[in-house]
Amino acid sequence: MTVVRLADQIWGQTAGASPYALGLVFAALLVPDPIGRWLAGGLVALSLVGVARLLVEKSRADEEVRLVTTRSRVLEVELVRQKDALDDFAEGLDTFVFLIDGEGTVLYANRLATAHFDARDSQGSTLLAVTLSSDLQDLMRKAVALGAPVISEIVYSHPIEMVGQTQVWPESAEEPRYFVSIHNITDLRRLERVRRDFVANVSHELRTPMTTVRAMAETLIDEETEQGGSAHRYLSRIVSEVDRLTRITDDLLILSQAESTEPAKQLVDLSQLVELHAETFKPSADAKSLRLLTDIEPGIQAVCNEAQINQVLTNLIDNAINYTQSGHVTVRLATIEEGALIEVEDTGVGISSENTARIFERFYRVDRGRSRQTGGTGLGLSIVRHIVEAHGGKVSVESQLNQGSCFRVVLPCRLNEAESTEPAR
Ligand code: ADP
């Protein structure tokens, strides 16, 4: 505030107060007593100072109001700008976006969602009426009940078939409003299916010629042996390479089957399954002078696909024996909070920490030469991971180079479901 403006204001306001001040001065002059006159004069001066102070404070308050008003206008402009940017962002997204209330009524749909679901008048309609998806309705109810984000892959049939990665999450803790985003992954899933079918078909097609090649090579080996010829070595090599190719195609078929079909599950006595399965590896362990130990908690049941869990055990125990030169392999089964825990521990070559992160990838082998020697395909652990995850479980490994490894599989027991199912055997 400038001095000129202040003086101006004081002048303007004092002008209003001056008649009273003049009145007081005259009243003072009229007082006959000189002391009384001084007192009256003093009072007049004090009142004038008071008036001036009030004016200064009022002018300060006016200035502050002006500043706050300007600031709130700037904030308002900034808010509008941010809202426009968010609107543009939602409109330009390659994802269907809805904002709904706790009852499922659509409050907002972005351009893509409006066009795809033909939802021009969607505001006020329910999400179910717009998308005709009861699965989405269920997911939304789950998010409302949990008050937390939920995500699921949903197959929509309206207006065309579409696989959508769908997420529902609360806007904020205070507002009973929810965002719904649907990302169209139909092409991705179609390409995955094409790849799976391709791998399965190729593996299948290769089997017949490989069987023929093997049979012919074995016939030639027999003839060579009778005639004492020198081609025996090469023919044996052909047989072992064909066997290797057969193992690879077999593993590829197992993997693509596990990927393409949901495993049929039933209640299985896991304790018995693990015990029996470990037994079958005794001869292989004995052949390498390894001790095969078991520590199995009895009576553990789980809802699972028996053949697939057998495959998991085969791959883990087989690896443990293959990658161990001396010592022991221990197979354990116990219940933990998350379900059933299967452990396969060995005292073998171990795996370095930079490799443990990758061994579950397809065809990843720490030592190609050793894997080839032991007849490995590089697919065993990816099959394990796929099967375990398809059962809602987890697989992990802890290992130290030259000390040994411990593979852990956690399978949810799902006792409620299990209790209502008849035992498989
Ligand atoms: P492979 O057929 O080559 O054994 P896997 O997918 O079963 O393929 O395993 C991937 C790689 O992980 C193996 O090549 C090996 O290097 C390592 N591996 C698996 N199990 C063990 C183990 N018990 N001890 C040491 N290394 C292992």
Structure confidence by residue, pLDDT tens digits, 304-344: 999 999 999 999 999 999 999 999 999 999 999 999 999 99
Token duo for residue 46:
């004090």
Q: What are phi and psi of 150, to 5 degrees?
A: -130, 150
Q: What is the pTM of this model?
A: 0.67
Please, which contacts does 413-416 make with residues 24 or more away whose CB atoms are closer than 8 Å?
413/300, 413/301, 413/302, 413/303, 413/335, 413/339, 413/340, 414/302, 414/303, 414/339, 415/301
Output the pLDDT for position 423.
40
Output the pLDDT for position 9.
62
- Report DSSP state, residue 185: -
**Residue 12: which of 42, 52, 46 has the closest Cα?**
52
Cα 337 to ligand 1 centre (Å): 28
Burial of 124 (0-12, 13-18, 19+ CB in 10 A): exposed
Q: Quick one: average pLDDT of 384-408?
A: 95
- Within 6 Å (CB) of ligand 1, which residues are found? 315, 319-320, 323, 346, 348-351, 359, 364-367, 371, 376-382, 405
Please report how the helices 270-280 and 306-322 are oriented relative to each other, as an axis angle in degrees rounded to 10: 40
CATH code at 191-260? 1.10.287
pLDDT grade, residue 197 (50/70/90)? confident
What's the topology of domain 94-184? Beta-Lactamase (3.30.450)
The residue whose CB lies within 8 Å of the most ligand 1 atoms, and thus the one to mutate among 281, 363, 371, is: 371
Cα 265 to ligand 1 centre (Å): 28
User: What whole-number percentage of the chain has pLDDT above 70?
Assistant: 89
Burial of 284 (0-12, 13-18, 19+ CB in 10 A): middle
Q: Quick one: average pLDDT of 10-22?
A: 55
pLDDT in tens, 138-174: 999 999 889 899 999 999 999 999 999 999 999 887 7
pLDDT grade, residue 178 (50/70/90)? very high
Output the pLDDT for position 263.
80
* Calpha distance 61→86 (Å, rounded): 37
The residue whose CB lies within 8 Å of the most ligand 1 atoms, and thus the one to mutate among 323, 324, 353, 362, is: 323
Token duo for residue 70:
């300007």
Cα 226 to ligand 1 centre (Å): 40
Output the pLDDT for position 288.
96
**Protein residue with least CA distance to atom 4, ligand 1:** 376
**Residue 325: which of 374, 370, 289 has the closest Cα?**
289
Cα 276 to ligand 1 centre (Å): 23
Cα 367 to ligand 1 centre (Å): 9
CA atoms in the 13 A half-sphere facing the CB of 40: 17
Longest dimension (CA), the chain: 159
Output the pLDDT for position 320.
97
Atom number in ligand 1 closest to CA 349: 25
Helices (H), 93-185: 111-116, 127-131, 134-146
CATH 3.30.565.10 fits 266-411, yes or no: yes
pLDDT in tens, 400-423: 999 999 999 999 986 444 444 444
pLDDT in tens, 47-100: 788 888 899 999 999 999 999 999 999 999 998 888 788 878 888 889 999 999
Q: What are phi and psi of 334, to 5 degrees?
A: -150, 165
Output the pLDDT for position 418.
40
Atom number in ligand 1 closest to CA 350: 25
